[in-house]
Structures are given as structure tokens and as C-alpha cells.
Structure 1
Amino acid sequence: MSGRRGRNSAIRGPHSALTDFLAANNISAAEIRDSYRQRLERAEADAAAAAENGEGPSAQDVDEEEQAQAESSAMAAERSKKRKRDQDDAIAKIKKGKAAKKDAKKKKKKGSDDEDDSDFGFDDMYKKARKLPGQLENCEVCDKRFTVTPYSQAGPDGGLLCTPCGKEMKKEAKAQEKAAKPVVRRGRRKMESNRLDGVTNRGTKTLQQLCIEKLAKHADDIDEFGEMPEAIMDQLSAIFSKKRAMNPTTIKLFLQPDMDRVEIHEAAYLETENFDQIFAVVPNIKKLALRNCCQFKDSNMEYLIEKAKNLVDIQLLGANLVSNDMWIRLFSARGEDLRSFKTEWLDAAFDDEAVEALAACCPNLERLKLERCKRIGVSSINAIATLGKLQHLTLRFLKEIPRENLLNVILQVGKNLQTLCLENFEQPALEDDEQTDDLLLAAIHDTCHNLSKFRFTDHTECSDEGYINLFTDWDNPPLRYIDVNSTRDCDNANPEGPDDFPIGLGSEGFKAVMAHSGSRLEYLDISSCRHISYATFAQIFDGVQQYPHLQEINLSFCPIVDTTTVASIFRSCPKLKKVVTFGCFKVKDVVVPRGIVLIGAPKAQDHVMEQFGDTIMDFQKELMKEMERDSRIAGGRVIPVMG
């Protein structure tokens, strides 16, 4: 097959850019080589002839040669200066081209009706084609000859730039981009996060706050905390958990042999061995609180039963790897000493049998919290009713619970309760002739007489009349904590509820709540209670009635709340610290007093609010007080201090 190749089909190698240039201009490399050789031979022959005749370079020739060298040096210096001028001109041309291009864009954006668009695009048709890599091209800015590469920059007018001009153009573009970039306020996200957590920092931070933040920032470089109060350790644990810094390395900082409580707010990054380390290092532990302990297993529970002999308070959230039999074994081994038990978010285990074992083996239990445990139901409710020493009860079931069983729990354990939290209980549908079910509130009214905290949320059957009856003539001290959010009717066909009394907390029920507990109330959550009227808010928070202990109130998704309502709350609550108004779109341009955090109002101003009286005389009195405070008294006259 190779013999069939023609005579003119010889393989040729690649040509360089210089060879292509010489061929394009009819310049022969052979002619240049022959001419150079001829000149070299002629010079050698002349030199040989001069040597035979005894002739040599004269003094005049030497002077002429030195003069030529001096002229060559001067020309080189002049060329260097010219190159510098060319570069400066190139930079100026780049800047001028950018400015012209920007002006052209502005004119193009403005536009005009008398512009002729008929020649649109014809300028681009006659532009010179861009050179390929390897070819020679003149720089568009400095007109310097250079070899085109795949990385050659395009100039302002569509040409190519040499390497120095391209770098200068890129530097100018970066400077303009940096100047045009908007300034972002750093720390804004952290400040808003702290506000949602209820943390407000006004003025200079304390030395303790600065030290705690510095410790959290350099968590990996700390060997031990040393002797610290429990309150500081709790703050550090919360900060480490929030920053996702609680890991197998930093957990050692929170374990000391003389401690009796361990609280880890975020244990998701801990391994199985770290939980065993807790009971090995802290043998006298009395309180254990682990949240999101997803790696807590049966082996850890066995080690807990063996080592933690003094444990009386257990809080395990998200411990889904502990089997049902191991829960029963825990209650059998530590039930007599157990005083508090809390668990939440359990899916695979912890069923009715485990709750029955808890009720049978833990007769001295005072605090119980069971929330979002998927496998517990009616049998668990009946078992809880046998715990006669309960003082704090929090329940949130995901299964449907009959009313009779829930009423039985209140009637059996309600007399000793100090805290009652019933959230989101699904109950069988009412009969056709029944519109509301207030029996549960009536049972609380008749049985519970020692409550200080009451949470009754996400209920869709109790009416405003039930709340009126609960808080009217209730033989219970004023509550300090009330949470009745999301108590409303979910019937979209009749969103206002029954004609007589609305579903959920309404205007009359809210009046009864504040009349009963307003004098001692510290926390109030009435979010999504949409049946409270504007007149009711104006009557309760009128600036005359004072609620001296109220520190936090949540008014989210109460559509009637506006700027005036929030300002009235500021005047009626002297110790207020936090107000939440998500979804209250009528709250605008509120001037927030110093020391109060307003969350959810996007247009709230964050500075001091001057609170004046309601009448003109009160206003004048307050104004005179301000003048006297900011002035000096001289000769019985008030002379304002300028500046």
C-alpha cells in the first residue's frame, strides 16, 4: 500500500510563524543565507588584503568607531524612553476607550426616536478577522508587534493587546469592579440571629462576654477550662452547640470529675465512645441532658445504668438507636431514684409498653415530658394518669387521643401540677350537634389550683367561652407564663367560627386572661389568635393599666395589630424586653425604646423613644424636664447649653 503514494505526497512538518511570514512576503531564506555568506567572505578578503599591504585601522577609524558606539548607546536610551512613553500612551488609550465605551452604553440605554437603526450591525460586518494563535499582530494600544496566543486579551475596539497592555487592562477592570461592589455590613446576620434568640447587646460588652466569645472562637486551641461556675459552663455549651463546635475533641472541655450535671445542647457530632466518656469522667452525675444524641445506643445505656448511680434527671432527645427493651431496663434499674424524665423525637422505639414500665417503676417522678414520640397512644395516657406525684407535665402526642382519656389525666394528676403543657392533641370528631368542646378547660378550672405555667396550643375545638370560664373566678394564683398560640378554627368554609363564640381565644377570653394573670405575667404568646379585636388591644394596653412583670410578648399573625398597638404595649409594660410581630403588616416605623427588641417589623427604627403624656400639659411638663436636664441653672433662669 505504501508504494502507491504519489511523488508529491511527501510528509511535511509544521511551519513556524516566521516561515509563514517570509513566504507571505516573497522572501527566500536561501537568498538571505547566500547574501550573508557573500558579505562575510568579502569582508574576510578585504581584511586579508589589508594585512598583506601593512595597513591597519587608523586613529581616525578608532575615533569613528567609538563615536559610533556612543551614538548607539544614545539611540538605545532614546528607544527605552520612547517605549516608556508608548506604554503610558497605551494605558491612557485603554482608559479613554473604556470611558468612550461606557458613554456609548449610556447613550444606547437612553435611546431616541430619531435614531437611524437601519445600519445596525453593519460595522461588525467589515471588522478585521481576529488573528489565530501563532500569527503576528500589532497591539491595538501601543502598536507593538507580538505573537498571538490563545490568552491574548481583546482591546476596547475589538483588536488584540500585547501581554503588558492586557495585564494593565485586567487590573483596571478589577479596580472598577471593586469600586462598584456594594458595601455589605458585616455582623448583620449574627445580630439578627442573636435577636431571634432573645440576646441583645447594648453598648460595650462586658469582660465576661468578651472572654466567652474568645473561648468559643478558639475552641480547638483550648486544653481545659479550669474552675468555672455552672452558669458560665452552660453559656459556653450553648455557644459551642450553636457554632457546631461540639465534637469529640471539645466535649472533653465540659467534663470534670467534680461536676454533677452535664448539658450538651447539640450532640449530633458526638460518637458512641464520647457518651461513655461522660459517665467515666463524671461518676457522680445527677442530671444528664443530651439533645440530638443520634449516636446514643444500647451500649451507652448499659454503661449509664452501671456507672451513673446518682442519676435523678434524664433528658434524651432524638435517641432513636436505643431499643424498647433497653428503655424498660433503664426504668427498672433507676426508676426509684428518677425525679425527672424528658424525651422527644423518637420514631423506632419507646412505645406504650415503655411508658407503662415508666409509670410502674418510677413512683417518685415529678417532671415528665413526652413529645413527638410516634409509637405511644391511648395506653400511655392511661399509664401517665397513675403518676400521682407529678408537678410538671408536658405532652404532645401524634396519635388521636379520646377526650375521656385526656380528661382522666387532668382529673388524676392536676391537683399537684405547677406546669401544664398540652400541645396539638388530635381528638375524635365532634357529634353533629356539637360545635365546641370546652370540657378539658372546665376540668383544668376545677382541678388545677397551683399552676404557674400554662401552655395550650394548636387546639381547634375549644371556644372563647371556654377560656372565659377558665380564667373567671379561677382559684389559681396569677400565672407567670401563658402560651395559647394557634387556638383557632380550621374550617375554611366558616373561618370566623360559630356565631355565638369564636373558636380559640377571642376578645372576651383575652380580657379574662389579663384580668386574672396580668399582675404577675412575665411571658405571653397569643400568636395566630385572630379573633382578638383592635378595641380589645386598645382597652388592655391603654398606657394607664400597667403590667409590671411582662417581659416578652408574641403578637405574630394577629392582623389587627398596628403601630399604635405596639407603642401602647411599650407604655403599659415597663419591664418589656422582647416583642415579636411577624405577619403584622400594619406595624410600620415604630420607634423602639432602649433595651427592647422588636422582631418581625421590617421598618422599625432602633433608637430611643421619647414617651410623653397624653395631654398637652403633660407634654409641656416632659419638655421642661428635658430642658432642665440638658441645661445649667444660673440666676434663677434656665440657660440652654449650646453645642
Structure 2
Amino acid sequence: MSARRGGRGGGRGGGRAAGIRGPHSALTDFLAANNISAQEIRDSYLNRVQQAEREAAEAAANGEGPSNNGEEDVQAESSAMAAERSKKKRKRDQDEAIAKIKKGKEAKRKASKHKNKGSDDGSDFDDLMDMHKKPPPLPGQLKHCELCDKRFTVTPYSKAGPNGGLLCTPCGKEMAKEAKAQEKAKKPVVRKGRRKLESNRLDGMTVRGPKTLQQLCIEMLAKHSEDIDELGEMPEGIMNRISEIFSKKRAMNPTTMKLFLQPDLNSVAIHEAAYLETEDYDQIFAVCPSVKKISLRNCCQFKDGNIDYMIEKGKHLEDIQLLGANLVSNDKWTELFIARGPDLKSLKVEWLDAAFDDEVVEALSTFCPNLERLKIERCKRLGEDSIDAIARMEHLQHLTLRFYSEISHEKLINLITSVGAKLRTLCLEHFLNASGDPTDDVLQTIHNTCHKIQKFRFTENNECSDTGYVNLFSNWDNPPLHYADINSTRDMDNANPDGPEDEPIGLASNGFHALMTHSGSRLEFLDISSCRHISHESFVEIFDGSKQYPYLAEINLSFCPVVDTQIIAGIFRSCPQIKKVVTFGCFQVEDVVVPRGIVLIGAPKAQDQIEQFGEVVLDFQRDVERERGERGVGMGRIVPVMG
């Protein structure tokens, strides 16, 4: 048969077939891989047809009828045709699969071209070279690893080597690991944004060095808040800190709120309740029936029904703080005060617009005579009648008021005279003089009446002069203040920002001297922002490095235009416990080297938290100052350095 096949190939198409050159088709590769020869199938079919023709001719010559061999030949011919059709169908399916693969490769190549538009010439050359590239080995074949020369079986997951060969599985994993490490090294380091950093500083969350284990655990809890089932038994301080972090990250919702509810808790604080619904507030008193202190901020869905449930279940409430509870009516506030009566010792309300008027404050003073702490801020419906009602509360020790309406200084004087003797906290904010005439009667009344104050806040006032502050702090029969906030006490006339020529309005140089003389030895917090009438000489004299303020930890000097680098240097030397200095709007503060452990906020060019050793450099500063004094040169800016 081979001789005949060779003869037929030589006679009919052998010469033409021998001249064909070029790459094999996918079908040819498939038939060769499965030991199938198309030429052999064709020759076998032709031999059977010729044999049938010869047998038919011999039968006709001998006068015999058609034999059964003819039928067998017909059946063989039909089976051969069926086999040919199945092969054609297989070939068509394979061609479609190959076309689909080529189409996908073409799409990837076009996408790569579009990504690298600047290398058109190079991509054309690569395409030309790809046409003549040797196809990769098929899976199942045996190859030698390019790196270790180990023989292995090729799989679809075999990695390509650096020189175009293939790698065995261990070498491929090692190469992938190295590539991942290089990619990670090339990836730019994402640094914390300045805005986030400044936000953390203002919140008091900035710490030097590694974070504590407690801080890391709290941050991890906030990050995976939805996956926590319970917090377990924790101290109240830790629970409150976790609640603060959850609130800051907007993670406090009806699901996470349940983590902070335990039957034996005496205090529940939700610092961001904006995502809670009305029925969520009832769960607080259902789960914690013995709660004594409740603090809810931004509780915008707290309604009358919650007040009823609080009255029914919260039998032990002594301290109530509700901020933003605008959906509670006046009648419900009154019912709450009647129900709690003598047990209520502390009440803090803020940001109330629709309700909580003078009649409610009257009911508070009538039915809650043992109230010791009262904080009412930004409640739009309150007026002078509320001041008279508060003046009848005999047991007040902490009082904080901020009204929208204008209150005459006669009402304030009556209030301070009535309750000032027992006050340890006095905060009067945004009480503007309706007449506009300067008067120091309120400060004089505080000087004569209040002798136990530790925290004093008197802000946004436009009626008290610098002389009034001098008289308040001079010979004041009151222990040194721990907390002093006298910001924005100045003349409100924008046409005359320097105030009257004869007497400055607000805390000025003399009043600042009197304040630091009286309370500097025990002061821990000081806010004199926007007190623009304090002179540069007064700051330099008070913070000269020799005078010491051992407890002062935080000071706010924002929008005091005379504050410069020299004053900040003096603060660092005079306040050994200082932790935070705020200098927004102080544009003369430049090139400050901040000592270790101190945060300077607001200085645009401050080099934050750079450690320096102070003794040698301070001696050098003194030499510079002495040399400048001998030359008659004015004091320049001194860069603060402190160990």
C-alpha cells in the first residue's frame, strides 16, 4: 500500500505536495498528536472504491449478478463518508475555537497599544517578531527548568523564566515572591494627610512614638465595628473612650450602640447619636435600668415617647445631657422635671430651637431644687425670665449659660449675686450689652460675690473694659483659677478695630498682667484668643523665661497679632508642663523649633516636634542677646530650643 501511495503521490500530486512549505495548521497538529493520517484515510477509501469497481467488472464479464460484496462496499463507502463529515465538523469547531482565541489575543494587544501610545514603532516591531516566535510548549510535555535545570512536566501554570524558558514549580514560586517584593518596594509610601493630622491634634489624639496597646486595640475595634459581638466587662473610662472613637468615625449606629449597653452600667454616653432611631433610645433604659447618667449628643430622633419611657424606666437618673433633642415638646420637658424632682442633680441641654422656653426653666427651678450643675447653651426660646428662674436655684455649683437674646447686665448682676457664693464653675458666653455703653458692673459683682471659682469663662463680651478685668483679678478673695477662658473680649465696632482711645475694651495688657499675677501659679488652661489689645511688651514680660507657670499645659493665642517667635520661645521656657500651643492667625511666628512633647498648632512654618538639647544652645542665645544689647540692636526673633 505504501508503494501505491507513493506512486500515486508521485504521479498525481506528489511533486506539488513536496513543494509545500510553511507552518502547520491547527488541524494538522491535532491529527499528528492523535496519530491520525488524512492521506492514509483517503488512500484507504480510494482502494476500496477501485476494488469494488474491479469486482463489478469481473462479475459482468462472467455473466454473474451483483454479489453481496457490492452491498458491503456501499456500506463501507457510506461509513467512510460519515467519518469524513465528522472530521469536517471537528475541524470547523477547532477553527472556531482558534479564531476565538486569536480574537482575544488581538483585543489584548490593542489594549496594550492604547495604554502605551508613545511606543507605536516598537509595538509594530514586537508584533512582527511575535509572528515568527516559536509557540510555547504544550501542557504535558517534559522540559528542563531554566534556573535549576531540573526536568519537569509543563502545566498551564508554568512560569516563564527571565530568558524565555520555563520554570519548575519551586522556582516559579520563588520568582513570583521576588517580583511581589520588588513591586511593594517601588510602591510609594502613603503618608497621613495634613488635614487628618491637624484634626487629630485639635482632638488631642496626637502622640509621639509608638501607640499604646490600649490605643491600638481601640482603633482595631473601631475599624471592625460591624464584626464585634460584645465588648465584655471594661472600665467606664475605656468604654467612654471607645464610644468617642466610634462617634468620631461615624460608626455609632443601632447595631454598634448595643455594645455599650450592659445591665450593670451606671453611665451611658453616646457622643454621636445622629444615626440612631427613636426605638433605639428606649433600649438604653430597657437594658440599663440602673443607669444614673445619660449623655446623648445630636439625638435628633429623641421624641416625647422616649421621655415617657425614660420617666417609667429611668428611676435612678441624676445626670441628664441631651444635645439637639428638638423633637421634645415643652410639656414633656416639664413632665420630666416633675418626675425626677429632687433626684436630678445635673442637666445639660444645647441646640434647642422648637421648645424649651422660659416656662420650662421655671418648672426646672421649681421641681428640681437640688440641681448642682446646669448648662444651657444655644436655646433660642430663652429670655430674661429664665435668668430670674435660675437665680432661685440655691444649690448650684456649676453654671454655664449662652443665650441668643440680649440680656441686660442688671439681670446678670442679680443672678451672680444670688448663686455666685457657691459657684465653682462660672461660664457666661456671648452676653452682649444691648445699650453698647461700656460697664464693668458684672465683673465687679463677680469680684465681690464669687470666692470658690476654679473654672472661669467670660467670652464674646463688648462691654467690660480692661480696667474691669484689672479690678476683678486684683486682690480677689478667690483661689487661683485652674481654667481661664477670656477669648474675644473686645470692641465689636469693625470700623474701629483698635477700640476707644482712652480705654481699651476687653482684656488688654494690664488685665492680662493681673490675671497671670493672680492665677499663674495654678493655671492649667488659658484661652486669650482674639484679645488684640495685649501688647508685645506684656507678652515678653510675662513669658520671659524666669517667671514660671508650673501647671500651664495648654494656651490659645490665636489672632493676637503681636505674638511672634520670641513670645512662643518664652512660653516654652516659662511653662515646663506645656503640651499644646495654638497660634492661628499669628503670622509672625516663623521658623519655630518645637521642643519634644509639645504640639504647636496654627504656625504655618513650624518644624513640628524636633528634639533639641537646650543647655548649650540656650547659652549661645544668651551670648547673642548680650552681643545685640552691646551693639544697640533691638531684640530679634529667638528660635526656642528646649530639652
Higher mean C-alpha deviation, range 494-503 or range 456-465: 494-503
Give the RMSD, CA atoms, in angstroms: 3.4
How far is the alpha carbon of 1:213 from its aligned partner? 0.8
How far is the alpha carbon of 1:74 from its aligned partner? 9.0
Aligned residue for 1:499?
501
Gaps of 5+ in 2: 27-105, 131-184, 624-643
How far is the alpha carbon of 1:362 from its aligned partner? 0.6
Question: Would the aligned equivalents of 2:524 and 2:554 in 1 still touch at CA under 8 Å?
Answer: yes
1:378-427 CA-to-partner distances (Å, cap 9, x unmatched) read 11000000001100000001011121111100000000000000000133
1:124-150 CA-to-partner distances (Å, cap 9, x unmatched) read xxxxxxxxxxxxxxxxxxxxx99xx99
Question: Would the aligned equivalents of 1:381 and 1:409 in 2 still touch at CA under 8 Å?
Answer: yes
1:536 aligns with 2:538: yes
Distance in structure 2 (CA, Å) of the matches to 1:367 and 1:512: 29
How far is the alpha carbon of 1:186 from its aligned partner? 3.4
How far is the alpha carbon of 1:618 from its aligned partner? 9.4
Pairing 1:374-389 to 2, within 5 Å after superposition: 374-389=380-395
1:200 aligns with 2:203: no
Aligned pair in 2 of structure 1 residues 497, 309: CA closer, same or farther (>3 Å)?
same
How far is the alpha carbon of 1:56 from its aligned partner? 5.8
Equivalent residue for 1:227, pick from 212, 227, 233: 233
1:281 aligns with 2:287: yes
How far is the alpha carbon of 1:67 from its aligned partner? 3.6
Pairing 1:150-549 to 2, within 5 Å after superposition: 185-186=191-192, 188-430=194-436, 435-549=437-551
1:57 aligns with 2:8: yes
Structure 2 residue identity aligned to 1:281? V
Question: Would the aligned equivalents of 1:414 and 1:447 in 2 still touch at CA under 8 Å?
Answer: yes
Distance in structure 2 (CA, Å) of the matches to 1:562 and 1:577: 18
* Secondary structure of residue in 1 paired with 2:588: coil
Structure 2 residue identity aligned to 1:256? Q
Question: Would the aligned equivalents of 2:433 and 2:463 in 1 still touch at CA under 8 Å?
Answer: no
How far is the alpha carbon of 1:504 from its aligned partner? 0.5
* Secondary structure of residue in 2 paired with 1:72: coil
Aligned residue for 2:555?
553
Aligned residue for 1:583?
585
* Secondary structure of residue in 1 paired with 2:420: helix
Aligned pair in 2 of structure 1 residues 156, 181: CA closer, same or farther (>3 Å)?
same
Question: Would the aligned equivalents of 1:202 and 1:595 in 2 still touch at CA under 8 Å?
Answer: yes
1:68 aligns with 2:22: no
1:221-265 CA-to-partner distances (Å, cap 9, x unmatched) read 000000101111011000000000000000000000010110010
Aligned residue for 1:640?
none
Aligned residue for 2:136?
none
Question: Would the aligned equivalents of 1:398 and 1:426 in 2 still touch at CA under 8 Å?
Answer: no
Distance in structure 2 (CA, Å) of the matches to 1:580 and 1:486: 15
Distance in structure 1 (CA, Å) of the matches to 2:407 and 2:597: 44
Question: Would the aligned equivalents of 2:113 and 2:120 in 1 still touch at CA under 8 Å?
Answer: no
Aligned residue for 1:611?
614
Aligned pair in 2 of structure 1 residues 414, 613: CA closer, same or farther (>3 Å)?
farther
Distance in structure 2 (CA, Å) of the matches to 1:584 and 1:384: 40
How far is the alpha carbon of 1:66 from its aligned partner? 5.6
Q: Which has the higher helix share?
A: 2
How far is the alpha carbon of 1:288 from its aligned partner? 0.5
Distance in structure 1 (CA, Å) of the matches to 2:586 and 2:195: 22
How far is the alpha carbon of 1:57 from its aligned partner? 2.8
How far is the alpha carbon of 1:617 from its aligned partner? 8.5
Question: Would the aligned equivalents of 1:571 and 1:611 in 2 still touch at CA under 8 Å?
Answer: no
Gaps of 5+ in 1: 1-50, 77-144, 169-178, 621-643
Structure 2 residue identity aligned to 1:501? E
Distance in structure 2 (CA, Å) of the matches to 1:440 and 1:477: 19
* Secondary structure of residue in 2 paired with 1:393: strand
Question: Would the aligned equivalents of 1:271 and 1:295 in 2 still touch at CA under 8 Å?
Answer: yes
Structure 2 residue identity aligned to 1:589? D
Q: TM-score, normalised by structure 1?
A: 0.70
How far is the alpha carbon of 1:612 from its aligned partner? 3.3
Distance in structure 1 (CA, Å) of the matches to 2:224 and 2:590: 41
Distance in structure 1 (CA, Å) of the matches to 2:25 and 2:254: 73
Aligned residue for 2:46?
none
Aligned residue for 2:100?
none
Aligned residue for 1:84?
none
Aligned residue for 1:4?
none
Q: TM-score, normalised by structure 2?
A: 0.70
Structure 1 residue identity aligned to 2:375? K
How far is the alpha carbon of 1:180 from its aligned partner? 13
Distance in structure 2 (CA, Å) of the matches to 1:269 and 1:560: 45
Distance in structure 1 (CA, Å) of the matches to 2:23 and 2:495: 99
Aligned residue for 1:92?
none
Aligned pair in 2 of structure 1 residues 208, 180: CA closer, same or farther (>3 Å)?
closer
Aligned residue for 1:635?
none
Distance in structure 2 (CA, Å) of the matches to 1:58 and 1:260: 103
How far is the alpha carbon of 1:495 from its aligned partner? 2.3
Pairing 1:65-144 to 2, within 5 Å after superposition: 67-69=18-20, 71-73=21-23
